[in-house]
Structure 1
Amino acid sequence: LYRFFSFCLSHIGLDGLDKTRLCTKLHKHALVQQANEVNWNLTVPLLFQPSVRLTPTTMLYSGKSPDGSHILSSARYLHMELPVRIAHRIKGFRSLPFIIGCNPTILQVHELYIRAFHMLSDFPPITDQETEIRYSRMVQQLLDDHKDVVTMLAEGFRECRKHVQDETLIRNFLDTTLTSRLGIRMLATHHLKLQENNPDFVGIICTRLSPKKIIEKWVDFARRLCEHQYGGAPRVRINGHVAARFPFIPMPLDYILPELLKNAMRATMESHLDTPNNVPDLVVTIANNDIDFIIRISDRGGGIPHSIVGSVLDYHFTTAEESNQDPRVNNFFGNMTNSNFNNGPMHGFGFGLPTSRAYAEYLGGSLTIQSMQGIGTDVYLRLRHIDGKEESFRI
């Protein structure tokens, strides 16, 4: 309470808070208190319990059984694992600076995690098919409830950006929260999809993923957005190992690729406004080897200015998004989204590229940028194979 009253009093002189605004502050504090009333007798032990992270190979080869026992095993693993991961995230929210944790949008996300923790912790042991079905329904509900979390976090940190004093602390919080969320969604979606009979998939793992085909899907999507915004779009040429196929998880590529392609297309169009019907092609190159695969996206969009090239992969909640910065730093195409592709989390507030970077690193890879100022930019997405010579990443 002392911190809260100090917070309010420090703002009275600055903002001239009247009774209505003070009541609003008090109401927000009440929400914070309510959010923090999670049952820590249950949560605290889980904070010291490490996550049991699975390799995709384990998920691939344990994902089928003639009697369907793999589905019960998967549900029991989630039943034990998800509360642990959610508890770790609640601890992360409680560790935020007080004034940032008070932000209504960030608080709303915090409350979503608390609600998810209670629902997952209170669910009884999974003993048969009936309880597994009920558990799967609850997991699907939670996935739906949390679908906009990344956008909400981006909005919340933008709203309170003037209070961010330690950007490293916030970057670490966001990297951990976003990658944890990706891991949870992959595990939960994998379990739900184990019940589907798709010959090319085991859960979320495509056994014969074609990088070329998934790139083409997102090229079509990005070109439609670009044509809507600018009246035209650059053509895209795909070369390299275009016939490559290997086991991989499409889900993270479905987050990362549209972001990279949209940025490259926008940069190209913005730098050729005088000739919108005659713009340079984008070139996407696929390189595949026995350890990893690389997707390079090359544009002729003029490159990234020297002044920001070093920070283009950082979260930009503290900069003025309204300024005329490079499109890779700014919100891409406003709030235009395509719900069919579930691309909302990759939009806006300077979060697209840093989120893509965090996802790539979580998957044992990297996202790097080489800019030739005055010419264009090459973006390299490198991801480790799940069945390669080196040890795979863990989810």
Structure 2
Amino acid sequence: MPESWKLTKALRDRIYRYATVKQTGVSLRQMVQFGSRPSQGSLFHASHFAVHELPIRLSHRVKDLETLPNGLAREPSIQLVRDWYAQSFEELTALPEPRIKDPEMARLLSGEKQQEEQISGHKKSLEEPVNRPYIFSDDGVVINRRSHSSSKDNGNGEVLIENLNSTHMHVGLLRPRRSYYISTPKDIVYPPEVQNYNKDVTKTLTKIKRRHDATVTTIARGVQSWKRKKNFTYVDNSVNQFLDRFYLSRIGIRMLIGQTIALNQQAMGNMYSDDYVGIICLRTNVMEVAQDAIDAARFACEEHYDMIEAPPVQLYCPEDLEFMYVPGHLVHMLFETLKNSLRATIELQQRLHPGKAIEDLEFPPVKIIVAEGLEDITIKVSDEGGGIPRSAIPLVWTYFYTSANQKIEEYDPSFTSGSFKPPFMGLGVGLPHSRLYARYFSGDLKLISMEGYGTDVYLHLNRLSSSSEPLQ
């Protein structure tokens, strides 16, 4: 972050006005309606939605960070994250509204016309009607996506896409479109203003996404530092609730940013894939993703313990099991879960055989079993790492409870986003954060432990994917 940047009173006041506005959720189903080859018009709608929705979400988090109790809001790491969010808010709200010179095109892109018609001598194909209802194959619900927008001529032959919402006029906000996805024709030539707007939004979102890469780790440093100063053993319930809300919101923000960037980059580079719509894989192969997570977790384990070969991991999964999901989310959840199981397995054997070299120890395998149901795909990760005492089970779902004897780095004023590598263990955010990833798309993560033997973690993934985001 540039040293000259600072959160001014005027910007803070504007952020707090935005924080009074309700957030708009986006479902996984809606995100994949673009298809593998979206039109520039549909991407325009997605970019415009993101530019107007993200500042609302960011504003809620800035307000939360500034109202943390008991001095936590004054921690340097917490203030650093707040400034990242505030600066991203400022950059998004500074983006100029797109101006479309062609009135017919402007009406289409404002969402005002959502029926089949001729545009600039081109008729829409029957395969891509603008106002086509979308029938969810999993539950038969018909969703008719419309945007009741308005367009205004600025007197110079240009039309400003404005979308003013009278209920939010007191805060001076532009209303985001009702839907992230709006169907537009693919067989017409869109004006350069459309493509230029999509490119500008992609460039801005890419910079913002990179800025926030280290948010989870930086928040962890701030809370850990605050805990030590206050001599707290555990984080109280109000802070845990804040962290749940904050991290869940971050998942949604990054999902919206990542999807918008990926859709635009695929279109600009013509990097189309029938399997992917943005970052969502329509046919996520569970076995392949699980194997990627196994390889990554075992490598991280070998690096941390300076060992030649990590404990074995046995995978039991149908080779052809596929469903619509975000592979990056699944890898994250499995990686964090496997990391815990591998660490518990190694450290139990070290306690049972003191003085024995780590390379001479024999480790029982960690087992991953995948089952397919009508509603869920369930993944069980089982280890023989000694288990967790029953009294400690509730604590594993609280933030910054960890059995690892490792401290994270103190706040460093020279620290910048992306320059800090999270430790293999000791943050105390892995399990609760992974559970949020599961719950983001209506799944869940549960743990059952047998003290003296091992632990089973059950990851339930919702395969229906019709629910909207859990916004708070």
Alignment partner of 1:55 out of 23, 27, 39:
27
Alignment partner of 1:155 out of 221, 230, 234:
221
* In 1: Cα distance, 2:369 partner to 2:243 partner: 30
CA contact (8 A) 2:260 2:278 kept: yes
> Could you tell me the TM-score, scaled by structure 2's length?
0.68
Question: Does 2:323 correspond to 1:257?
Answer: no
> Which sits farther off after the overlay, 60-69 or 368-377?
60-69
Higher percent of residues as helix:
1
Evaluate the alpha carbon distance shift between residue 166 and residue 210 of structure 1 in structure 2; reply closer, same or farther with a 3 A threshold: closer
The number of residues matched between the two structures is 346
Q: Counterparts of 1:317-356 in structure 2 under 5 Å?
A: 325=403, 327=404, 344=422, 348-356=426-434
Partner of 1:370: 448
Evaluate the alpha carbon distance shift between residue 48 and residue 152 of structure 1 in structure 2; reply closer, same or farther with a 3 A threshold: same
Question: Does 2:311 correspond to 1:234?
Answer: yes
Partner of 1:192: 261
The superposition leaves residues 312-336 of structure 1 with CA deviations (integer Å, 9 ceiling, x where unpaired) of 12112xx6x6xxx3x5xx66999xx
Partner of 2:365: 281
Amino acid at match of 2:432: P
Partner of 2:286: 211
The superposition leaves residues 105-134 of structure 1 with CA deviations (integer Å, 9 ceiling, x where unpaired) of 111111111111111111111352112211
Alignment partner of 1:114 out of 64, 67, 86:
86
Evaluate the alpha carbon distance shift between residue 61 and residue 108 of structure 1 in structure 2; reply closer, same or farther with a 3 A threshold: same
Evaluate the alpha carbon distance shift between residue 384 and residue 250 of structure 1 in structure 2; reply closer, same or farther with a 3 A threshold: same
Evaluate the alpha carbon distance shift between residue 135 and residue 279 of structure 1 in structure 2; reply closer, same or farther with a 3 A threshold: same
- The list of structure 1 runs, each at least 4 consecutive aligned residues, that deviate by more than 3 angstroms after superposition, is 63-67, 162-166, 274-277, 330-334, 342-348
Q: CA deviation at 1:191?
A: 1.0
CA contact (8 A) 2:221 2:408 kept: no
Alignment partner of 1:181 out of 232, 237, 250:
250
Stretches of structure 2 that go unaligned for 5 or more consecutive residues are: 100-193, 267-271, 410-417
For the residue of structure 2 that corresponds to 1:370, the secondary structure is: strand
Structure with bigger gyration radius? 2
For the residue of structure 2 that corresponds to 1:271, the secondary structure is: helix
CA contact (8 A) 1:255 1:343 kept: no
For the residue of structure 1 that corresponds to 2:9, the secondary structure is: coil
Identity of paired residues, percent?
A: 30
CA contact (8 A) 1:72 1:126 kept: no
* In 2: Cα distance, 1:107 partner to 1:302 partner: 39
Partner of 2:150: none
Partner of 1:11: none
For the residue of structure 1 that corresponds to 2:25, the secondary structure is: coil
The superposition leaves residues 66-90 of structure 1 with CA deviations (integer Å, 9 ceiling, x where unpaired) of 6422211110110110011011111
CA contact (8 A) 2:34 2:277 kept: no
Partner of 1:290: 374
Q: CA deviation at 1:344?
A: 4.2
CA contact (8 A) 1:385 1:392 kept: no
For the residue of structure 1 that corresponds to 2:395, the secondary structure is: coil
Q: Counterparts of 1:26-105 in structure 2 under 5 Å?
A: 35=7, 37-64=9-36, 67-97=39-69, 99-105=71-77
Q: CA deviation at 1:230?
A: 5.0
* In 1: Cα distance, 2:282 partner to 2:330 partner: 15
CA contact (8 A) 1:248 1:386 kept: no
The superposition leaves residues 2-48 of structure 1 with CA deviations (integer Å, 9 ceiling, x where unpaired) of xxxxxxxxxxxxxxxxxxxxxxxxxxxxx9xx646252553344222
For the residue of structure 2 that corresponds to 1:383, the secondary structure is: strand
> Which sits farther off after the overlay, 272-281 or 152-161?
272-281
* In 2: Cα distance, 1:290 partner to 1:169 partner: 37
* In 2: Cα distance, 1:230 partner to 1:166 partner: 32
Alignment partner of 1:223 out of 277, 295, 298:
298
* In 1: Cα distance, 2:316 partner to 2:94 partner: 51
Q: CA deviation at 1:188?
A: 0.8
Amino acid at match of 2:246: T
Evaluate the alpha carbon distance shift between residue 120 and residue 303 of structure 1 in structure 2; reply closer, same or farther with a 3 A threshold: same
CA contact (8 A) 2:345 2:386 kept: yes
Evaluate the alpha carbon distance shift between residue 174 and residue 380 of structure 1 in structure 2; reply closer, same or farther with a 3 A threshold: same
> Could you tell me the TM-score, scaled by structure 1's length?
0.80
Amino acid at match of 1:294: T
Amino acid at match of 1:286: V
Alignment partner of 1:272 out of 334, 345, 349:
349
Stretches of structure 1 that go unaligned for 5 or more consecutive residues are: 1-30, 335-339
Amino acid at match of 1:124: P
Partner of 1:28: none
CA contact (8 A) 1:230 1:269 kept: no
Partner of 1:394: 469
Alignment partner of 1:361 out of 420, 439, 449:
439
Evaluate the alpha carbon distance shift between residue 184 and residue 331 of structure 1 in structure 2; reply closer, same or farther with a 3 A threshold: farther
Q: CA deviation at 1:167?
A: 1.2
Alignment partner of 1:170 out of 239, 244, 247:
239
Amino acid at match of 2:297: A
* In 2: Cα distance, 1:230 partner to 1:345 partner: 14
Evaluate the alpha carbon distance shift between residue 198 and residue 156 of structure 1 in structure 2; reply closer, same or farther with a 3 A threshold: same
> Which sits farther off after the overlay, 114-123 or 92-101?
92-101
Q: CA deviation at 1:362?
A: 2.6
CA contact (8 A) 2:318 2:370 kept: yes
